[in-house]
Amino acid sequence: MLKIENFSKTYKSTGKKAVENLNLELFPGEIFGLLGPNGAGKSTTIKTVCGILACEEGTITINGYDLKKQTIDAKLSMGYVPDNHETYDKLSGMEYINFMADVYGVSIEDRKARGDKFIKIFNLEEAINKQIKTYSHGMKQKIVVIGALIHNPKLWILDEPMMGLDPSSAFELKEAMRQHASEGNTVCFSSHVLEVVEKLCDRICIIDDGKLVAIGKIEDLKGNSGDNSLEDYFLKLTGGTEA
């Protein structure tokens, strides 16, 4: 589903090496958690996989498509939810959904079926014809999620998705992630909330200072290290810095 091989990333403007020789493979039907301290390289990795940052070193394959050579096909098969929820806020929710559906080539029948389903799940019926700029933080997150799922992507990537969400919105989002993975798709997200990662993820990886330091099932990782919680394991591995 997603294969990252020998990926390294250096920012041209600052010359800082953000990720170094990263190798990773994600499989169909799993929820994968990306952990790491602030500035570890999680967002850089996610943004590169999504095509927002250029991939100069290494290979990234999404659903069999090489991101560098088959960029459009690779992008068509994934959906992305950014950490800041920045979107076209002068549009109404429905206009945004229509725009994203046009962009991903979703038929009118499919966009209606998926759109109605998600609008109902996320309780956006009242707000859907209002401008996004009037939405609350959680509502913005939800509309961006609908935009990312409108084409039913095989790979769904979320950057810090739980940040700033109220408990009910967080619950709805977690349910949507579980549902998407249960349909044979892959969900990959980065998070600072270790409890959420522990409950939701099938596998995780920990990145520290741009390097992969651990990967596997949570139970296996904890068992091998002898730690009781993911938090203890994480803190030990990253030198005590917070996630």
Which residues would be at the binding site for other proteins (CB under 8 A)? 11-14, 47, 50-54, 71-73, 75-76, 80, 82, 84, 86-88, 90-92, 94-95, 97-99, 101-105, 107-108, 111-112, 115, 129-131, 133-134
Q: Which is nearer to other proteins, 33 or 82 (CB)?
A: 82
Q: How far is the CB of 150 from other proteins (least distance, A)?
A: 10
**Helix residue ranges per DSSP H, the chain:** 42-49, 71-76, 93-103, 108-121, 137-149, 167-182, 194-200, 218-225, 230-237
Nearest to 28 by CA among 56, 2, 54: 2
Q: How far is the CB of 228 from other proteins (least distance, A)?
A: 39
Cβ(48)–Cβ(188) below 8 Å: no
Q: How far is the CB of 176 from other proteins (least distance, A)?
A: 19
Q: How far is the CB of 54 from other proteins (least distance, A)?
A: 4
Q: Which is nearer to other proteins, 59 or 71 (CB)?
A: 71
Q: Which is nearer to other proteins, 95 or 198 (CB)?
A: 95
Task: Measure the CA–CA gap between 152 and 179, rounded to whole angstroms.
Answer: 12
Q: Residues with Cβ < 8 Å from 120, sequence gap 6 or more?
A: none
Q: Which is nearer to other proteins, 129 or 224 (CB)?
A: 129
Cβ(204)–Cβ(191) below 8 Å: no
